[in-house]
Structure 1
Amino acid sequence: MKISRYLILGSFLMVCILSACSSNTSSKRATDLSIEDLVIEVPLSGNAWIVDDVSLNESMIIEAGLSNWSEKSNLIRTYVRVNSPGKLNLGIKAKLLKGSSKVKVTIGDESKEIVIKDIQSTLIPVGEFDISEEGYVQIDLQGISKTDVFFGEVSHFVVGGEATAKGTYFVKDDFYWGRRGPSVHLGYEIPAEAGDIEWFYNEIEVPEGNDLVGSYYMANGFGEGYFGIQVNSETERRILFSVWSSFKTDNPNDIPEDEKIKLLKKGDGVKTGEFGNEGSGGQSYRIYDWKAGNKYRFLLGAKPTNDNSTDYTAYFFAPEIGQWELIASFRRPKTSTYLTRPHSFLENFMTEMGQFTRKGTYLNQWVRNTEGTWFEMTKAKFTADATARKDARLDYAGGVEGECFYLKNCGFFSEKTSFDTFFNRTELGIEPMIYFEKLP
């Protein structure tokens, strides 16, 4: 009897020991991680944002990484994309010039705490996290307590483990463009029988909640410029129409007089001038409080003149006003062409806003030829910019939803659309009803 009891007790102890060993090996603690477990450095300067107050991004996310971190309320969010589920080993490279601090690192519903106290940048193991699926991983960092003013300076998160075995994606360089996020485009196919195109018509509806500051919903792009709507701040929105000069420069002051864009006319309340940095030319904009959920109409014309120039004219139709209004008309010297390359795009132009997703829908595209015949464009090619094409950011999408095309970017959603994919929307047959002789 006693022998049986001892055998049962021994078996029970052996099961407990094996169970404990199994538990310890399945999930590494911070103290179990070695340098070999942490091999991929993710710089915060290109991959982290201040979430609770976007205005702090400029002062807190600098070239060296996270700095000036003093408030418990600051939520610092870093993104890295992994290509497979599994264990993710995580470390942090940080320093603190004075005192010590305790901070919390969270992925999903799992949080771990570490102490920052070294005055030299040190790789601090955080621990192992379970990643359930491939896609973007969101790493949150928050301060808990500190003995002095700051929680620390953080240059990198460092990752490894089976979740990274098939590759990782994050912004490695060109941090300005990486923080803005990928721009996405739709290139519309003109029917072969259309001939020379004098007018391009398009409609945009921004879904409610997607009208984020820093967004440019460009409706009518063409070979020499673009025309659309922007959200410039919490209190200002614009209708923007620009035409590039034929002279290639980022500085408008360098453009020779005979290649400068000439203003022919402009609408009420429209401001005009020059622009630079992404090519140079003539620009016009009107401050207008357009609304998400409303459908806006855009009409763009191009007509060659007799002196090797082309005149471009943009009109805007707001449902709140109920009539076509002139934005501006520009003349581009040393150019003789009708409209080419009709396209739309969606971009974010503020680095602090690259952490948020936006979406636009593009409806009922038409072109009108020189003979006055309208042609519907129902086929579009999805493309994206260099930030997307070099895999710095993979949060981009576009295609067809119902009867319209759509574009979506930023915010680190995990689905994406393949570059150079063609999409076809439903043919609507709703030809624009425009009385050209009555346009201002």
Structure 2
Amino acid sequence: MNKFLSLLFFCLFTISSIAQVSVPLGGNTFANKTESKNITNSGIQNWSDPSTSFKVYVRLAKKGNLVISLNQLKKVVGKSELSISVNRSQKRIEVNVGEESVLAGEWLIKDTGYVIIEVKGLKKTGELFPEIGSLNLSGTSVDKNASFVKDNEGNFFYWGRRGPSVHLNYETPESKEIEWFYSEVTIPRGNDLQGSFFMANGFAEGYFGMQVNSPIERRILFSVWSPYQTDNPKEIPDSHKVKLLKKGKDVAAGEFGNEGAGGQSYLKFNWIAGQTYSFLVQAIPSADNSTTYTSYFFAPERGKWALIASFKRPQKQTYLKRIHSFVENFLPEYGNQSRKAFFKNQWVCDNKGEWTAVSTARFTTDNTGNKGYRMDFGGGVNGEAFFLRNGGFFSDFTQPKTTLKRKVEKVKPIINFNYLP
């Protein structure tokens, strides 16, 4: 009898210790068509087109079996036949009227890392396939270390689908007043994805880099934050407004909001993947407790430095601080695609005209990565270049706060500041 009770207790303990997680589709799903409107915060909705399919991404920290159920089924009209695939191993299921949850099946997970769960619609007797709110995952491959966007608190379905931003925080001489920051950026062919912002020259009060805004438009962007804390530029009092002093040819300038607010400028320029571009930013503090920030861009195909803009920021006089670079995706529907950038030949020049090479950076990610909601973030060194990588659900992430050191072989930049436009 005691043996029977011990065995029963062991079985109950084993069953209770097997983890189950609910994966909300609103923050972890991507359609095969970027123009699809079927993914909402509530999951997959208004799905009628069988040529539209969906991929759900979850990172598993254990090998073993994986059991999947479709949960929070709504608007089940007639009978639908769906295909559920895990890493291309497919099972077919039926969803009938009145069902709120359906077991999809069991799969063997042979390795840790990201798992792709693909949902396809095969047949339906009604006008729509069922709405699906979440997937329930269980089995020996599932534990508390499974990574996915857990909920929408803090609008994380939006941020999670955008994917983690990745940063290089450069180490610069503390004893120097840094007036200029120079760097070069190369985007490998195939990594110039829509929604990408490859930010080359960042500093405590602003940022300067290049974007892919649409299939036909790319920009060189330079922005300076107002010292007034708001996401609405119309709320900024005159005493805290960032003022445009000058701008280059064909450069548009105005205000920006939503992620802080301030002055913004951009040049529409169809930069090319595989080409190396140079960025130069200057900070000059003034006696009236303000700082003037000016940016310049060099494209080899143009062969000369171009002024982007010069902004005067009030309420603080400073040289360049917290110099950094980053890569981000600003379009959620492109968050399942991987992008990579090489950042190289970083130099700073102090207010006495002395250049210093920047060879050390600390890798970090944003809150999406730090919370473990997305783990597809990486950074490293390739010879003389640092690199950053994000999106696409690759499994070999880089530990945040890793220190990176690049080789320094190039000579300092040869720039005559007096001849800049």
TM-score between the two structures when normalised by the length of structure 1 = 0.89
2:142 to 164, 169, 173: 164
Q: Secondary structure of 1:89's partner?
A: strand
1:41 to 2, 22, 25: 22
Q: Which amino acid aligns with 1:132?
A: K
> In structure 2, do the counterparts of structure 1 residues 370 and 38 end up closer, same or farther at CA, with 3 Å as the change threshold?
closer
Is 1:64 aligned to 2:46, yes or no? no
Show CA shifts across 1:108-155 (max 9, x none).
2311011111345x2211111011111110000111111121121111
Aligned residue for 1:55? 35
Aligned equivalents of 2:56, 2:238: Cα separation in 1: 48
Show CA shifts across 1:45-65 (max 9, x none).
0000102x1010xx2001210
Show CA shifts across 1:355-392 (max 9, x none).
11111110100000111111000000001111111111
Aligned equivalents of 2:107, 2:190: Cα separation in 1: 32
Aligned equivalents of 1:46, 1:119: Cα separation in 2: 26
Is 1:95 aligned to 2:70, yes or no? no
Aligned equivalents of 1:256, 1:404: Cα separation in 2: 42
Q: Which amino acid aligns with 2:335?
A: G
Is 1:108 aligned to 2:87, yes or no? yes
1:189 to 171, 181, 185: 171
Is 1:316 aligned to 2:297, yes or no? yes
The question of whether the paired residues in 2 share the 8 Å contact of 1:96 and 1:116 is answered with no
Aligned equivalents of 1:383, 1:398: Cα separation in 2: 9
237-246 or 34-43: which moved more?
34-43
| Alignment length (residue pairs) | 402
Aligned equivalents of 1:35, 1:367: Cα separation in 2: 58
Aligned residue for 1:25? none
> In structure 2, do the counterparts of structure 1 residues 36 and 380 end up closer, same or farther at CA, with 3 Å as the change threshold?
closer
> In structure 2, do the counterparts of structure 1 residues 109 and 250 end up closer, same or farther at CA, with 3 Å as the change threshold?
closer
Aligned residue for 1:410? 391
Is 1:138 aligned to 2:119, yes or no? no
Aligned equivalents of 2:312, 2:304: Cα separation in 1: 25
Show CA shifts across 1:312-350 (max 9, x none).
000000111010000000000111001111100000001
1:276 to 239, 242, 257: 257
The question of whether the paired residues in 1 share the 8 Å contact of 2:375 and 2:393 is answered with yes
Aligned residue for 1:305? 286
1:154 to 132, 136, 139: 132
Aligned residue for 1:3? none
Structure 1, gaps ≥5 residues long = 1-33
Aligned equivalents of 1:103, 1:265: Cα separation in 2: 59
Deviation at 1:166, TM superposition (A): 5.8
Aligned equivalents of 1:322, 1:69: Cα separation in 2: 51
Q: Which amino acid aligns with 1:190?
A: T
Q: Secondary structure of 1:54's partner?
A: coil
Is 1:240 aligned to 2:218, yes or no? no
Q: Which amino acid aligns with 1:417?
A: T
TM-score between the two structures when normalised by the length of structure 2 = 0.93
Deviation at 1:40, TM superposition (A): 1.4
Q: Which amino acid aligns with 1:108?
A: N
> In structure 2, do the counterparts of structure 1 residues 36 and 365 end up closer, same or farther at CA, with 3 Å as the change threshold?
closer
Aligned residue for 1:358? 339
Aligned residue for 2:56? 78
Q: Secondary structure of 1:246's partner?
A: coil
Aligned equivalents of 1:166, 1:43: Cα separation in 2: 16
Higher CA-based Rg: 1
Structure 1 residue ranges (4+ consecutive) displaced by more than 6 angstroms after TM superposition: 34-38
Aligned equivalents of 2:16, 2:51: Cα separation in 1: 31
Q: Secondary structure of 2:141's partner?
A: helix
> In structure 2, do the counterparts of structure 1 residues 165 and 249 end up closer, same or farther at CA, with 3 Å as the change threshold?
closer
1:433 to 397, 401, 414: 414
The structure whose residues are more often helix, as a share, is 1
Show CA shifts across 1:278-303 (max 9, x none).
11100001111001000000000000
Aligned equivalents of 2:255, 2:388: Cα separation in 1: 28
Deviation at 1:38, TM superposition (A): 8.2
> In structure 2, do the counterparts of structure 1 residues 279 and 166 end up closer, same or farther at CA, with 3 Å as the change threshold?
closer
Deviation at 1:37, TM superposition (A): 7.8
314-323 or 170-179: which moved more?
170-179
Aligned residue for 1:175? 157
Aligned equivalents of 1:379, 1:309: Cα separation in 2: 30
Aligned residue for 1:125? 103
Deviation at 1:171, TM superposition (A): 0.3
The question of whether the paired residues in 1 share the 8 Å contact of 2:19 and 2:143 is answered with no
Is 1:373 aligned to 2:354, yes or no? yes
Aligned equivalents of 2:401, 2:46: Cα separation in 1: 42
Aligned equivalents of 1:259, 1:140: Cα separation in 2: 50
2:370 to 382, 389, 396: 389
Aligned residue for 2:400? 419
Aligned residue for 1:6? none
Deviation at 1:36, TM superposition (A): 11
Aligned equivalents of 2:420, 2:16: Cα separation in 1: 69
